[in-house]
Structure 1
Amino acid sequence: MTVAGASVPLLQVIVIVVVALILCALALMLKYSRLGLEMRAAAEDFGMPRLLGVRADVVIMGAFALSGALAAVVALVLVAQTGVADVRMGGQIMLVAFIATVVGGMGSLSGAVLAGFGIGAAVVVLQVALPAEVRPFREAFVYGLVIAVLLLRPQGLFAPASAKPRV
């Protein structure tokens, strides 16, 4: 496909659309469903929802089921793009996702997404801007930027107002 004068493989367009739809569905589920409300309440203060009748085992089971389903979708996208299934294929992605969650602000889905885009943009900019002999170390530069951000704002860039400070 040609998008704004650039040739983009159809698989990339399909992946972007599918991931955007899944992200929207996740945001809507967390905001409007009963399980999403219970998960958000448990993430805020796990004791209070239990006092109000929320079953902790259901919330924990739902969180694990949701994370497993999302991991399966990511694995399918990776296998579709690379054509290879390996035990270690998600390690680097998991590390970047964890860093994006921390930098974006724990408890902020939109913050994690924006931080993920920022980390991806930083990797691409460093790939272009760094001299050829230093390019293999671009991840080290990105992690250095992440450390600097966390030193300046330990709660994350987009932390919700109700977030408790991390120590």
Structure 2
Amino acid sequence: MVFDGHGGKHAADFACNHLPRFIVEDEDFPGEIERVVASEFLQTDTAFAEVCSLNSSLASGATALVALIIGRMLVVANSGDCRAVLCRRGKAIEMSRDHKPMCNRERRRIEACGGSVYDCYLNGQLHMARALGDWHMEGMKGPDGGPLSAEPELMTA
């Protein structure tokens, strides 16, 4: 697991201390691993929002990359711009993509959520389109969603 904090270390520390436990304690783990991992990224993000509402000095964000091996399957979940590469028989296989606001897929998702991309920055503030935390940033996240998403992109091999 890789957690890369921005605006402070608190979101990265929170995710490091909670996301693994949330995943393995989910009643559907490991049977529905992809659904579980995606769901627990969002649960971690919501739990961090609750902590930040009690202590605003913790406000920060983090990108996250999780790689799990279940039997003979590798599951990689990425939210942000961390990278995972699998080497199979001497050949590199990309297992994650950067979630930059200027990527076409991310830009369409951002604009559909009412956000904008200005000078390669989400709402002119953040150079990534997906991350945990950042609840303190105006117009990024809310109870009904927003242009900044914690939802990971999953790849399996």
TM-score, normalising length: structure 1: 0.26
More strand by share: 2
Greater relative contact order (CA < 8 Å, ≥ 6 in sequence): 2
> Computing the radius of gyration over CA atoms, which structure comes out larger, 1 or 2?
1
More helix by share: 1
TM-score, normalising length: structure 2: 0.27
